Amino acid sequence: MKKLLLLLSLCAVCTSSFAQDSNDDLLRKLVEKNILSRSEADSLRIPQKKSLSQTTEKIREAFNTPYMRFGGYGLFMYRYNDLSPVKHNAEAKVIFVSMRGELTKNFKYFILAEFVKPRPYEFYAEWTPVNGFNFRAGQMKTPLSLENQMSLTDIEGILNTRSISALIGMGDDVQAKQNGLNNTGRDVGIMTYGNLFKTQTHDLLEYKIGLYQGTGINTGENNNSKDFAVNLMLQPVKGFRIGGGAYFGEARYAITNGSITDNHVRNRWIVSSDYRTERVYARAEWISANDGGISKAGLHGMGMYYFIPKKLNAFAKVDYLNRNKEKNSEVIDYTLGVNYHFYGPCRLQLNYTYSDYSKDWEANNSNTVLGQLQIVF
**Span 20-33, average pLDDT:** 64
Question: Rounded to 5 degrees, what are φ and ψ at 146?
Answer: -65, -40
Residues 67 and 16 in one domain: no
d(CA 160, CA 368): 14
Residues 40 and 188 in one domain: no
Q: How high is the pLDDT of residue 17?
A: 39
Q: How high is the pLDDT of residue 7?
A: 44
| Rounded to 5°, angle at Cα 41 from 39 and 45 | 120
pLDDT tens digit string along 284-336?
Answer: 999 999 999 999 999 999 999 999 999 999 999 999 999 999 999 999 999 99
Q: Which residues pair with 281 in a beta bridge?
A: 276, 304
CA dihedral 341, 345, 346, 350 (to 10 degrees): 50
Count CB neighbours of 118 within 10 A: 8
Residues 8 and 114 in one domain: no
Q: How high is the pLDDT of residue 261?
A: 82
**pLDDT-above-70 percentage for the chain:** 83
**Span 180-192, average pLDDT:** 92
Residues 128 and 235 in one domain: yes
Would 49 be classed as within a structural domain? no
Q: Which of 17-21, 155-159, 251-255 has the lowest mean pLDDT?
A: 17-21
Residues 239 and 368 in one domain: yes
Residues 165 and 31 in one domain: no
**Span 343-362, average pLDDT:** 96
Overall pTM > 0.85: no
d(CA 293, CA 165): 20
pLDDT tens digit string along 246-296?
Answer: 999 998 888 877 677 888 899 999 999 999 999 999 999 999 999 999 999
Residues 18 and 97 in one domain: no
At 199, the amino acid letter reads T
277: DSSP letter: -
**Span 144-173, average pLDDT:** 95
> Is pLDDT of 12 > 50?
no
Residues 20 and 60 in one domain: no
The domain containing residue 17 runs over which residues?
2-44
Residues 198 and 118 in one domain: yes
Terminal alpha carbon distance of the chain = 56
Would 134 be classed as within a structural domain? yes
Q: How high is the pLDDT of residue 255?
A: 82
Cα–Cα distance list, 15 to 18, 26, 36, 37, 345 (Å): 8, 11, 18, 20, 38
Residues 331 and 372 in one domain: yes
